[in-house]
Structure 1
Amino acid sequence: MTRRVGLVAGRVLVYVLIWAGLALLIAAAGIRFFWGRISVGQMLLNLVSVETDGGGGAIVWLGILGVGVLPLLLTLGIALWQYTRRRKRRAAGGGGEDHSRRPQWIRRAVAAALVAAVFVGGATAFATTVGVADYIKAANSKYDIGDYYVEPTVTSDENKRNLVLIYLESGEATLADDQLFEKDSFAPLKEATPAEAGWRSVENFQQYEGGGWTMAGLVSTQCGVPLKGVGSSDDSSATGDLDDDGETYLGGSTCLGDVLAKHGYTNVFLGGANSSFAAKDTYLSSHGYSEEKGLSDWRALDEPEENFRKDWGLSDERLMAHAKEEIDRLHAESEKTGQPFNLSMLTLDTHEPVHVYDYCNVDTENKVTSVFSCSMSQVAGFVDYMKEKGYLEDTAVVIMGDHLKHMSAGDAFHEQLDHHENRTIFNRIWVPGQDPTVTLRPGVDQLNMYPTILEAAGLTLKDREAGLGVSAFAPEIPARSAQAMEPEPYIELLDSLSPQFYAEAWTGR
């Protein structure tokens, strides 16, 4: 009986290892193809908030089938094949192989080696793809973000003004290089935001180390800290509180919307995708946004089906049309009440896999180049509309990419970008009546944009700091700031898990 139980347990373990190895291998391949190399934090934050409608669409179903169903079917198939072989051997009286212990031993050794190879190979591929080694290293870092974090302190709001904040999906400035690409995809937006008219930009604007996806872009530029989940916290209650109700997102942090709301702003967010994807709606409602409109709202307005892409949502053409209506409403209300507004937006068309809406004329060999240009034309049209209506006279505008363009196996432009020495994020900043001699500090990363946006909105900050950032309008950096660190320690600081800081950031305790 003991031998029988041990045999059954051994076989179960073998099939569990086969299933786990296949699942990890397929997951690694899928992540590499659709997103490239990611981080443990990115995986955990997005895994719990996927959406089959307007949040990845077919990719989500491919993940469910590829990682959840296919490995199980393959494992069951192997088990059935082995069972059938054993039945046939028994029916044949054992066969010649049973008369010799050596062939049977070799067969079992080869089978064990194959099972081990599948499991170890899958585990190694997955660990490499999601950066498990980096995660372990970050857990042992001597740095803690809490030691450098600065709570934003507004010393004056006498000059506060309206704010328009536009995030460009995958808005990488490198795509403006017409020597690398068929044309400058940002040309329409550049024409609408010329330097000679007073528009400014951060030269060499960097994605923060460890960033690279939309929610990381929003959090870094609006909260001034790297986005890390509750998995970074060693406080078990932090995880429990978030999972139980899901009512807040970094609820213990003070972010852009919180500061603006405290000073009388009406915060509104517009996006084409499903608002609940990656818990974006929870983040916005947790941080001072009183209204957010997404996929379900546009459908409720009876937008024609051709204006949507099935995997993500509403086209940028229609999003900007709604944005014009929204800014008309907000500006009229602001003139009546005397209170400013913040209208934030996130474009969609440039999210790969490429989708060409009817409004976009493809005039390049690579469709992605044309789609980028078409999207930028829509944003440029919105900027021109604000200028025509006179809104730029009392409204600051910040336009920037949410992250660099993804470089997964299925994405375009590997030849041009894989070995590019300095990939940067596109940005433009407009501040009404600003001294034309004012320049922005070059080379800053996304964390510095938090205090920069607050200053563009006319708020005065103590020491010009917020989060880990220092305003790009500030020519000098305080000596105690994280921005004064040498590059390598600064990167290690951003990578560090900082468990106590994130426990408080997520729970407010």
Structure 2
Amino acid sequence: MPNDPARARIPHVARRSGAILGRITLFLLVWIGLALLIAAAMIRLLWGEITVGQVLLNLVSVETDGGGGALVWVGVLGIGVLPLVITAGIALSVRFRRRIRRLRGDHDRAWRSPWLMRAVASAAAASTVVLGTASFATAVGLADHINAGNSEYDLSDHYLQPRITGDEQKRNVVLIYLEAGEATLEDEALFEKDAFAPLKDVTAADAGWQSVEDLRQYEGGGWTMSGLTSTQCGIPLAGATSAASSGALGELREGDEAYLGGTTCLGDVLDDHGYTNVFLGGASSSFAEKDNFLASHGYTQIKGLADWRAAGESASSFRSDWGLSDQRLMARAKDELDELHADSVRTGAPFNLSVLTLDTHEPVHVFDYCDVDTQDQATSVFSCSMAQVAGFVEHMEEQGYLEDTAVVIMGDHLKPVNTGDAFQEQLEDHPDRSIFNRIWIPGGGADATLRKGVDQLSMYPTLLEVAGLTLSDGQAGVGVSAFSSQVPEDSAQSLSPAVYSELLRSRSSEFYSEAWDDAATPGSPGTLD
């Protein structure tokens, strides 16, 4: 039936369906490209250089309450809503202009031929996707992530489980992480004043305090969870893709999987030797899976934002984006320390109290307790935070706790210097940046000389020795204790800087598959030989 109207309409319907599908695909590509472009711009603005692992392990865990605050909504609106609105606006504009042209009867103009317009639109959409993909890949270091998979080096060749050969001298430990505690802020030639002066006054070398000269952030680190895991587990925080491929990352989000469950960390060893491990922080404990990490590694009490609210802290003591002020956090830490120390005296069991400060987290926030006496508010905020920590140290000294309790104070990472952050001009191109730290060991520990220039990974075995545990060869993880004057030849710390850098950035898939696997935990950690 050559004149069948139904059959005659089939090509028209097919063309029409193809055109609609083409437009949908076109606008979908525009939306994806814009989302990637905006995401890349936000990452550069808010976090600077990050890694694929950081995206998987940290950025996806931000929270509106005590874990980023307004930044979460900025991300939702900027990456989720804004590209959709722009794409919808483009689609409506194209449709409106097409309708106007049809009404005017000028749709047959040669320079507006459908094929030409489709080619231009397709090229524009493709360019948006390519530019967005390239920008996002650069922002998260995708090329480095891919190159890391081709490295000939693997952490499993250098990783060592901590072997404790004696605990007769074990002692209480107080571990204080200073948010963005960079030692460069001591330089009065660069800044309006020495932001660490209040803390330095109560941790002077002539009073018996020590420090690791030139303590380095490990290459690839630079955020709080990387600071916690590197100094407490002795390995770079990475392997998220290995965890994701094994399903561990998904279970981690649901709270069913241990965080680095196949790795022996500081809390594990201390718990195995009778310590009570307690953690206090001002932000939400669940931000970036911090509570999961700590609970997975020997910490039995973890207190954060929700606990301080439940305890009746006043609204003025909180900042809406992150949490409790350092003034109130350190007051709570004093109370916690008093209880822990009293229990330790009564039972003879040691404790580890770990605290993470908050006030110096970007963006700059000035609490009522802090008097701003500098042109740059951030300088005063740092100084006020250090004064609160100094007050805590003074409390320890007044109560006599320093006689049987070791203290380690150190920054969790260097100060971020992203666009809009405080001190960007002073720090961005600074050639010699290091992490502030102070160490107190009761009973003459100051006689030991600390090896200079170690990075955060060597702080893990250092902390074990600070606790009074005897550590075989001074090694744990891929680090070597700063108390060890010599570095074993087979240690990662003996590698050349270039090789060591590549080792830390290597994918080490097999190593991290086991590190994130609960079942891979090798027996009881840190037991006596």
TM range (shorter): over 0.9
Tell me the amino acid that sits aligned with residue 452 of structure 2. Answer: P
5 Å matches for 1:203-222?
203-222=213-232
Would you say the 8 A contact 1:198–1:436 is kept in 2? yes
306, 328, 333: which is aligned to 2:338?
328
Asked whether the equivalents of residues 155 and 511 of structure 2 are also in contact (C-alpha less than 8 Å), the reply is yes
Residue 41 of structure 2 corresponds to residue 29 of structure 1: yes
**1:157-214 deviation digits (Å, cap 9, x = unpaired):** 0000000000000000001100000000000110010001111101110000000000
Question: Alignment partner for residue 374 of structure 2, among 361, 364, 381?
Answer: 364
Q: TM-score normalised to the size of structure 1?
A: 0.97
Partner of 1:45: 57
Rounded Cα–Cα distance in structure 2 between residues aligned with 1:419 and 1:373: 23
Residue 468 (structure 1) shift: 0.4
1:450 and 1:466 in contact (8 A); partners too: yes
- Separation in 2, partners of 1:302, 1:477: 50
Of the structure 1 ranges 40-49 and 198-207, higher mean CA displacement relative to structure 2 is found in 40-49
Is 1:8 aligned with 2:12?
no
CA, structure 1 residues 456+64, in 2 after alignment: closer, same or farther (shift >3 Å)? same
> Which amino acid counterpart does residue 312 of structure 2 have in structure 1?
D
- Partner of 1:196 in structure 2? 206
Cα distance in 2 for residues equivalent to 1:398 and 1:232: 33
In 1, are the aligned partners of 2:160 and 2:476 still within 8 Å (CA)? yes
User: How far did 1:311 drift?
Assistant: 0.2
Q: Does the 8 A contact of 1:206 with 1:445 survive in 2?
A: yes
TM-score normalized by structure 2? Answer: 0.93
- For the 8 Å contact 1:238–1:506, the answer to whether it is kept is yes
The answer to whether the aligner puts 1:285 opposite 2:292 as a matched pair is no
Matched residue, 2:7 = none
Q: What is the CA-CA distance between 1:111 and the residue it aligns to?
A: 2.7
Partner of 1:494: 504
1:317 corresponds to 2:291? no
Query: Of 390, 405, 412, which aligns to 2:400?
Result: 390
1:87 corresponds, among 78, 90, 99, to 99
Aligned in 2, Cα 1:142/1:495: closer, same or farther, shift over 3 Å?
A: same
**Distance change >3 Å, CA 239–CA 385, structure 1 → 2:** closer
Q: Separation in 2 of the partners of 1:502 and 1:99? A: 62
Q: Which residue of 1 aligns with 2:284?
A: 274
Residue 351 of structure 1 corresponds to: 361
Q: Distance in 2 between matches of 1:436 and 1:243?
A: 43
- C-alpha separation in 1, matches of 2:84 and 2:44: 21
- Which one-letter code corresponds to 1:57 in the other structure? G
C-alpha distance in 2 between matches for 1:385 and 1:284: 26
CA–CA distance in structure 2, aligned partners of residues 35 and 479 of structure 1: 37
Shift of 1:238: 3.7
Task: Say which SS state the counterpart of residue 98 (structure 1) adopts.
Answer: coil
Other-structure match for 1:60: 72
Alpha-carbon distance between aligned partners in 2 of 1:116 and 1:248, rounded to the nearest angstrom: 42
Residue 244 (structure 1) shift: 5.2
Q: Residue type matched to 2:383 in 1?
A: S
Of the structure 1 ranges 24-33 and 228-237, higher mean CA displacement relative to structure 2 is found in: 228-237
**In structure 1, the residue corresponding to 2:313 is in which secondary structure?**
coil
Say which SS state the counterpart of residue 314 (structure 1) adopts: coil
Structure 1 pair 435/395, CA: closer, same or farther in 2 (3 Å)? closer
In the alignment, the residues of structure 1 paired with residue 302 and residue 109 of structure 2 have an alpha-carbon distance, to the nearest angstrom, of: 74
- The separation in 1 between residues aligned to 2:284 and 2:245, in whole angstroms, is 31
Contact 2:248–2:517 under 8 Å retained in 1: yes
Q: Within the alignment, does 1:252 sit opposite 2:245 as a pair?
A: no
Structure 1 Cα separation of the partners of residues 315 and 301 of structure 2: 24
Distance 1:132 1:2, change over 3 A: same
Residues 179 and 360, structure 2, Cα contact 8 Å, conserved in 1? yes
Q: Indicate whether 1:169 and 2:184 are aligned.
A: no
Deviates more, 1:246-255 or 1:99-108: 99-108
Tell whether 2:471 aligns with 1:461.
yes
Structure 2 counterpart of 1:135: 145
> Partner of 2:442 in structure 1?
432
Q: Which runs of 5+ in 2 are unaligned?
A: 1-12, 521-529
Letter in 1 for 2:21: A
Cα deviation code 1:253-292 (max 9, x no counterpart): 1000000000000000000000000010001110000001
Query: How far has the Cα of 1:152 moved from its partner?
Result: 0.5
Any conservation in 2 of the 1:234–1:500 contact (CA below 8 Å)? Answer: no
1:151 partner amino acid: Q
- Structure-2 separation of matches of 1:28 and 1:474: 43
Tell me which stretches of 4 or more aligned residues in structure 1 moved more than 3 Å.
Answer: 101-110, 232-235, 237-247
Q: In structure 2, the residue corresponding to 1:48 is in which secondary structure?
A: helix
Q: Cα distance 1:167–1:234, how it changes in 2: closer, same or farther (>3 A)?
A: closer
SS at match of 2:301: strand
Separation in structure 2 between the aligned mates of residue 442 and residue 222 of structure 1, nearest angstrom: 19
Conserved 8 A contact 1:45-1:229: no
Deviation at 1:113, TM superposition (A): 3.0
CA contact (8 A) 2:239 2:513 kept: no
Q: Structure 1 counterpart of 2:454, which letter?
A: V
Question: Does the Cα contact within 8 Å between 1:272 and 1:315 map onto a contact in 2?
Answer: yes
Please report how far the alpha carbon of residue 229 of structure 1 lies from its aligned counterpart in structure 2 after TM superposition.
Answer: 4.1
Question: Within 1, Cα distance between the matches of 2:193 and 2:255?
Answer: 48
Deviation for aligned residue 1:497 = 1.2
Letter of the 1:162 counterpart: N
Return the match for 1:342 from 352, 356, 370: 352
Q: Residue 29 of structure 1 aligns to which amino acid in structure 2?
A: A
Q: How far is the alpha carbon of 1:121 from its aligned partner?
A: 1.6
- In structure 2, the residue matched to 1:186 is 196
Alignment partner, residue 526 of structure 2: none
* 1:405 to partner: Cα distance: 0.4
Residues 474 and 481 of structure 2 are in contact (CA less than 8 Å); yes or no, is this contact kept in structure 1? yes
Q: Counterpart in 2 of 1:400? A: 410
- Helix, strand or coil for the counterpart of 1:311? coil
How far has the Cα of 1:241 moved from its partner?
4.4
Quick one: which amino acid aligns to residue 438 of structure 2?
R
Measured in 2, the distance between the counterparts of 1:74 and 1:246 equals 39
How far has the Cα of 1:232 moved from its partner? 3.4
Secondary structure of the 1:343 match is strand
Shift of 1:112: 2.9
Larger mean Cα displacement after TM superposition, 110-119 or 97-106: 97-106
Query: Separation in 1 of the partners of 2:275 and 2:249?
Result: 32
Per-residue deviation, 1:310: 0.2
Aligned to 2:421: 411
Give the Cα–Cα distance (whole angstroms) in 2 for the partners of residues 46 and 239 of structure 1. 12
- SS for the counterpart of 1:480 is coil
Q: Tell me how far apart the structure 2 counterparts of residues 179 and 99 of structure 1 sit (CA, whole Å).
A: 68
Contact 1:316 1:375 in 2 (8 A): yes
Return the offset for 1:90. Answer: 2.0
- Tell me which amino acid in the other structure corresponds to 1:492: E
Cα shift at 1:108: 3.7
Equivalent pairs counted in the alignment come to 507
Distance 1:401 1:325, change over 3 A: same
Q: Deviations over 1:67-89 (max 9, x none)?
A: 11111111111111111112222
